[in-house]
Amino acid sequence: MRSITLALAASTALLSFGTGAALADAHSSLEGTLRISSDMSNPAPRAVMEGLAAEFDEMHPNLDVELTIVDREAWKTQIRNALSANPPDVVNWYAANRMRPYVDAGLFMDISDLWAEPEFEAMASTRGAMTIDGAQYGVPYTYYQWGVYYREDIFDELGLTEPTTWEEEKANCQAILDSGRKCYTIGTKFLWTAGGWFDYINARTHGYDFHMELARGEVPWTDDRVRQTFANWRELIDMGAYIDDHQNYSWQEALPFMLNGEATSYLMGNFAVAAMRDGGLTDDQLDFYQFVKINPDVDYAEDAPTDTFHIASGAQNVDAAKEFLRFVTSPDVQTRINAGDALGQLPVNANSSVDDDEFLQQGFEMLSSNAQGGIMQFFDRDLDAEMASIAMEGLQEFMVFPDNLDDILARLEDARQRIYE
């Protein structure tokens, strides 16, 4: 195996992916150098990335893979310059509106031809997140689900079942409140958690397309449809569904309310499961359900922040770059890199398999069957960064002072016109 150039390591710490040598003859036509710049700098992702590069290098005898790993935070400020002058062939980034600036600037290559291949049908649920103006500009390699994690033992005590409609959600919540508990814990001190609630209530009220139009600045915040979203949200607020003083807690600081049974549910990403287990909840006490339907006429859309690979528009080895994207999204590779001892998240290929973990299994089934509804990237990824910051302040304010809605929406609309128009 030829050498792989690593920017931040003197030696290569390989994840065991197998050799792939049996495929070498079939891929001998690839030659030259494939240059990859990756922000997978934390220990587990770094091992995954180094393993991918090594395996792909070994599969292709006439190809040299050069991997440069850049600090994840530093990459956010370096990527534009990296793509502009002597760019690498393949880079890491994020889906949906986070990739739009680089698509609009002509820095990411249109790879719609890859997405037209039959094998990519297995990733249909993520296609929308990789699409701008009808074309696809990258591939996903990992994501994770959001949903409602709840105290199954308390539901059982109160005779409640998992809701599927907004009316059932509110009825459950009232029974929980009547028992002396809060329905939902949440910590909005750092704002972004309120964005998750808006994502779901807005998408469940009006659908994925409308939600993304709002995220792109194409819909006024004073639109009556946006007001309807807030009206639905206010039904829970007026019930007293959320823990008190949530603006004083981080998401971690809000966990004890669920751990000790003062609140029964948490709308959160799957990364919180480890903290819940560490806090003493067993899998017999904890369960998960998909955020309920509000408008029965719209398809489910899910928050599933997605990490991606892209080909630079100035790539020198396009054939090898496209083959690498096929490789990294293949069912077997997806299974291995997203396993619990690797990324510990969900494969994007519906033909992959996941670890024998209750919540990963539920998330994989939910997201893999979501071809029609669409995948959201979460509020602060889908919106322009400045708009997201201003809007999340408004969302938190609304949760605490819902009577301020008119002032909040006026401020957000002023910001939208300044930022997008």
The yes-or-no verdict on residue 14 having pLDDT over 50 is no
Instruction: Identify whether the C-beta of residue 235 lies closer than 8 Å to the C-beta of residue 171.
Output: no
Q: What is the pLDDT of residue 58?
A: 97
* CA distances to 63, 229, 394, 396 from 404, in Å: 61, 15, 9, 11
pLDDT in tens, 233-270: 999 999 999 999 999 999 999 999 999 999 999 999 99
The yes-or-no verdict on residue 11 having pLDDT over 60 is no
* CA distances to 130, 179, 279, 377 from 148, in Å: 26, 20, 18, 17
Q: Is 380 helix (H, G, I), strand (E, B) or coil?
A: helix
Strand ordering across the sheet containing 263-269: 182-184, 263-269, 146-151, 286-289
pLDDT in tens, 70-80: 998 899 889 99
The yes-or-no verdict on residue 308 having pLDDT over 70 is yes
Q: What is the pLDDT of residue 8?
A: 32
- Distance of alpha carbon 316 from alpha carbon 308, whole angstroms: 20
For residue 261, count other CB atoms closer than 10 A to its CB.
Answer: 16
Q: What is the pLDDT of residue 96?
A: 87
pLDDT in tens, 108-156: 999 999 999 999 999 998 998 999 999 999 999 999 999 999 999 999 9
Task: Please give the model's pTM, rounded to 2 decimal places.
Answer: 0.85
Q: What is the pLDDT of residue 421?
A: 79
Q: What is the pLDDT of residue 17?
A: 45
The yes-or-no verdict on residue 9 having pLDDT over 60 is no
Provide, rounded to the nearest whole percent, the portion of the chain with pLDDT above 70: 93
Mean pLDDT of 278-286: 96
Between 165 and 19, the more confident residue is 165
Q: What is the pLDDT of residue 370?
A: 77
Tokens standing for residue 338: 């997203």
- 41-45, 144-148, 391-395: least confidently modelled range: 41-45
Which domains are assigned to the chain? 21-143+306-357 (3.40.190.10), 146-303+384-420 (3.40.190.10)
pLDDT in tens, 209-239: 999 999 999 999 999 999 999 999 999 999 9
For residue 406, count other CB atoms closer than 10 A to its CB.
Answer: 10
Q: Round the average pLDDT of the chain to a whole number and report it.
A: 92
List strand residue ranges (DSSP E) for 43-85, in order: 63-69
